[in-house]
Amino acid sequence: MEPVCPLDHRYGRKEMKEAMSHAARVARCLEVEAALARAQASLGMVPDKAAYEITKRATLEFVDLKRVEEVEARTRHDIMAIVQVLSEACKGDAGKYVHLGATSYDMVDTALALQLRDGLDILDGRLKGLIIALASKAKEHRDLVMVGRTHGQWAVPITLGFKFAVWLAELDRHRERLSLCRGRVLVGKMSGAVGTGAALGDKAFAVESRVMEDLGLGAEEAATQIVQRDRMLELLSHICNLSVTLEKMATEVRTLQRPEIGELAEPFDSKEQVGSSTMSHKRNPIMCENITGLARTLRGFLIPAFEGAVQWNERDLSNSSAERFIIPHMMVIADEAVFRMTEVMKGLKVDPERIAQNLKAAGDVIMAESVIMALCGKGMGRQEAHELTRAAAMEHYSGADYRKVLLAAPEVRKLLTRKELDSALDPRNYTGTAGERVDRVLKKVLSPER
């Protein structure tokens, strides 16, 4: 069969795709079945020998995926297919104890928690790699003064390192959010058809507790037939939040790579990479454009995820088909987007000369706020200083020299010497605490505890 989904042939890292694959899903369901049998054996509910046999056979070595798919095609029930094939694989009468007292979503949701644990471990490692790559750039360009921009217009000076530190702090918060939500997300259930545990009798709590302890998961306190989806929505929302930061970073690189700005550029292999099939001179920011598209796709999955959390009574199946797309795709795409941004940051091209040229081109007028503060420091009222510098700026935009206009103003000459005005108009003197803020962020994100 020819691949349809781009994740099959174009996007996605091998490790994450394996963790979120169909084979991993089945393997994790088998793991849960084995844990259930062991818990029941420890409580005298099934023979120890049967639990041992179930545990031994509950792997893809003995449970053939093709056979599972054949049974599912006939029964139209994926978990029942796994149960049947596992039961067939067990020797003796052990098979009759498989899935005893459980319902399908005891397996599905508990197995999903195991897959998500693997996926979150991978994603955290990927985020850490991005943070390290970006931190290196922030440290390198800590004091590289550049023109800041708001509303797409020249603002006041910043440093490139500070721009990177803003992203770093944000990425670190994403790591923290994903870490903090693990306790709420990585939970399973073993409480039966409507969550009461009736089929497990007076040992229901003990069975569930031992299964989850065995698997290293938390337990849903009060489930219906499924683990409640507010947990998953928290994780998926955090992933979408992460996607916003990645797109923001990509957009900034794309903006500053525009030829008329030319301050930053994503890596481009000049030996072989092709920018356009016809315009051979092109060096398009395709990596950042890919990240932008992936980020928007991630957020597009969130609405059906929220809709699926609304269930009829104790359970319906409206979430199942959607989640089979949503969850693995979001994990794989998020991992891919972080990987691509890491590659961008590792190979990011910074042009200090162009940055200096643009800062110079912005001219003295971008230092208006600095002049305001200098005048206020000598006793002028803030509103008066604002109007004086604003009027001078308007003359500048009509063709006058901003510095000369200020020097011609009696109010300025009265309060500021030429040397003091020159100092106020020097961008290097007006980056505030940018450097120290870079240092603080670097200290936090690179601490051994992170």
- Residues with a catalytic annotation lie at 151, 276
3-state DSSP call for residue 218? strand
The type of residue at 171 is L
The length of the chain in residues reads 450
What tokens appear for 357 in the block? Answer: 């040229």
Beta partners for 24? none
What tokens appear for 421 in the block? Answer: 């005005």
Non-local (6+) Cβ contacts of 247 within 8 A are 291, 292, 295, 296
d(CA 358, CA 356): 5
The answer to whether the beta carbons of residues 105 and 226 sit under 8 Å apart is yes
Pairing state between β 218-219 and 264-265: unpaired
The answer to whether the beta carbons of residues 332 and 12 sit under 8 Å apart is yes
Cite the DSSP H helix spans in 160-229: 160-180, 182-185, 204-215
Pairing state between β 349-350 and 264-265: antiparallel
d(CA 142, CA 160): 7
d(CA 342, CA 130): 5
Q: Which helix (H) or strand (E) holds 157?
A: strand 153-159
Centre a 10 Å sphere on the Cβ of residue 304 and count the other Cβ atoms it contains: 15
Half-sphere exposure of 356 (CA within 13 A, CB side): 5
CA R_g for the chain: 30
Non-local (6+) Cβ contacts of 122 within 8 A are 13, 15, 16, 19, 335
What tokens appear for 407 in the block? Answer: 């020097």
The answer to whether the beta carbons of residues 253 and 285 sit under 8 Å apart is yes
The type of residue at 352 is P
